[in-house]
Structure 1
Amino acid sequence: MSSGPTGQPSLVRTGAKAGLAFAGSAIKGGLLGLILGGGVFFFYLGQLKGPGNTAARAGGAGAILALVTSPPLLVAVLLLLFVVVYAMLGVQRGRTKAMQHLVAARGEAVSERLAGAIAGRIEAMPRTHGTLQRAADWLSVDALSKQLAPVLGEGKAVRSVVGFVLNRLPMSDMLAEWQEGRAAHGAPVAAEGAAQDPALRALLTRRINETLQEMSTPSRKPLYIALGAHAVLLGVGLWLVN
């Protein structure tokens, strides 16, 4: 995986594929919202009966009063909101699919380079009491993104990956695991300015790679939850109007 200028076209192609994946999922979410969300909403509207619904359709203060005092109409408003819910789920899945392309193409480089950058900052920390437990204070998205820019570029995608990894990495637990491993092999924790520690880099690389795989794995669970809630709400609405 090239780290020089020749790697830039690969980043461009990967970015294009990620953009297409995002757009495709977002469009599917929008269509699902319009077809399923809108279809269920208009179907439910057709089931509404009674004089109160006529007042609601008239507009103005009477419509607001009718809405507040009519549970079936409140259900109609909630059903309409599912148009937005499905669209948002499409955008969320699109982001995950886009990240899947980025991780597949550059995940190894990101894991190694980011692990090296984080390890270098940890090794440079002053070894005062309790400092290792505050390692996250020495790390920032800006600094790490700039450090990785020569290899991975300066796009928003790289910055978002760095930010996600930093937010999800259990730094305290990882540092405790690293220190326990060194103690088990009879090696003291490295002093400030010490040479690079391969064990620390291997630990960080493994955990970062696991985090990247997690963030780039699409899940249908939110969609299933939305479909279930949508069906339950429609059932309640039909029960109210019949």
Structure 2
Amino acid sequence: MSSEPTGSPSLVRTGARAGAAFVASVAKGVFFGALLGGGAFFYYLGQLSGPGYPGARAGGVGAALALLTSPPLLVAVLLALFMGVYVILGVSQGRTRAMQHLVVARGEAVAQRLGDAIAGRIESMPRTHGALRRASDWLSVDALSAQLAPVLGDGKAVRAVIAFVLDRLPLNEMLAEWQQGRAAQGEPQLTVAPGGVAPAQDSALRALIARRIHETLQEMSTPSRMPFWIVLALHAALFGTGLWLVG
């Protein structure tokens, strides 16, 4: 970015912290995949081939056919997949934690610049009666990415952030709030003739959009443990079902 808030961490330091958070979360995912996923899988394999499973005592081809056609083998396959699921959770958590560092360090600046870009496109949009409710038709990831490329870059991360913001930003609600604020201050509604344009540099619109974008970025960068607990519960239920089948 061309300008940075005073006292904000350097871009290199922020990137290093974000990278470290990502690596740490991926390492946790690998650890849980090996400990929980691998541990449950190999323990279950021991039970599957032990005396508790009648088909395994047949030996030779009989045991192989019994295993291949049995629900316990399907449980074993699913338990093996959970090793990868924990790694995927680690990667997802790592991305969120990396984004958290970036939002803390650069969230306000990104929200300000992206808000200015969105507001600028809305302000320059030809207006007819009711056109504000179709403002989303004038906004796209490609257009905003190209506009912000000189200050934010044009990498995949920037496009992902812009796409997330556009997908979550309640434009109709925000524009209705903006118009209500203008009406409360005695300013005219923006329903000018075709070919007209809205007043340039509307500070209220820019402040509103920037605030909502910052809230959206904070939502995007807030890690949640819920997916881990859901996967852990499913894993435990599957493991218990498998032990019951071979018991």
Do the aligned partners of 1:21 and 1:97 also contact (CA within 8 Å) in 2? yes
Q: Return the alpha-carbon distance in structure 2 between the equivalents of residues 105 and 50 of structure 1.
A: 57
Secondary structure, counterpart of 1:128 in structure 2: coil
Partner of 1:10: 10
Partner of 2:214: 209
In structure 1, stretches of 5+ residues that fail to align are none
Q: Return the alpha-carbon distance in structure 1 between the equivalents of residues 34 and 43 of structure 2.
A: 13
Q: Following superposition, which runs of at least 4 residues in structure 1 exceed 3 angstroms of deviation?
A: 49-58
In structure 2, stretches of 5+ residues that fail to align are none
Q: Is the aligned partner of 1:50 residue 2:57?
A: no
Change in 2 beyond 3 A, CA 1:39/1:228: same
Partner of 1:144: 144
Q: Return the alpha-carbon distance in structure 2 between the equivalents of residues 226 and 171 of structure 1.
A: 35
Do the aligned partners of 1:145 and 1:158 also contact (CA within 8 Å) in 2? yes
Q: Return the alpha-carbon distance in structure 2 between the equivalents of residues 95 and 179 of structure 1.
A: 37
TM-score by length of 1: 0.86
Q: Return the alpha-carbon distance in structure 2 between the equivalents of residues 221 and 23 of structure 1.
A: 20
Partner of 1:218: 223
Change in 2 beyond 3 A, CA 1:185/1:47: same
Secondary structure, counterpart of 2:10 in structure 1: helix
Q: Return the alpha-carbon distance in structure 1 between the equivalents of residues 178 and 225 of structure 2.
A: 35
Do the aligned partners of 1:55 and 1:66 also contact (CA within 8 Å) in 2? no
Change in 2 beyond 3 A, CA 1:73/1:187: same
Code of the residue aligned with 2:236 in structure 1: it is A
Change in 2 beyond 3 A, CA 1:56/1:72: farther
Change in 2 beyond 3 A, CA 1:57/1:172: farther
Deviation of residue 57 (structure 1)? 9.1
Deviation of residue 38 (structure 1)? 0.7
Residues 107-156 of structure 1: CA deviation (Å, up to 9, x unaligned): 01001111111001011111124422221221122222232233333333
Residues 200-231 of structure 1: CA deviation (Å, up to 9, x unaligned): 11111111010011111111110011111111
Q: Return the alpha-carbon distance in structure 1 between the equivalents of residues 104 and 154 of structure 2.
A: 18
Code of the residue aligned with 1:133 in structure 2: it is R
Change in 2 beyond 3 A, CA 1:92/1:57: farther
Deviation of residue 193 (structure 1)? 4.3
Partner of 2:131: 131
Q: Return the alpha-carbon distance in structure 2 between the equivalents of residues 37 and 194 of structure 1.
A: 59
Secondary structure, counterpart of 1:237 in structure 2: helix
> What are the equivalent positions in structure 2 for 1:102-117 lying under 5 Å apart?
102-117=102-117
Q: Return the alpha-carbon distance in structure 2 between the equivalents of residues 55 and 175 of structure 1.
A: 73
Change in 2 beyond 3 A, CA 1:56/1:121: farther
Match 1:194 to one of 195, 199, 220: 199
Q: Return the alpha-carbon distance in structure 1 between the equivalents of residues 165 and 214 of structure 2.
A: 9
Q: Return the alpha-carbon distance in structure 1 between the equivalents of residues 130 and 210 of structure 2.
A: 24
Deviation of residue 105 (structure 1)? 1.1
Partner of 1:241: 246
Residues 27-49 of structure 1: CA deviation (Å, up to 9, x unaligned): 22122112210110011111124
| Identical residues among aligned pairs (%) | 68
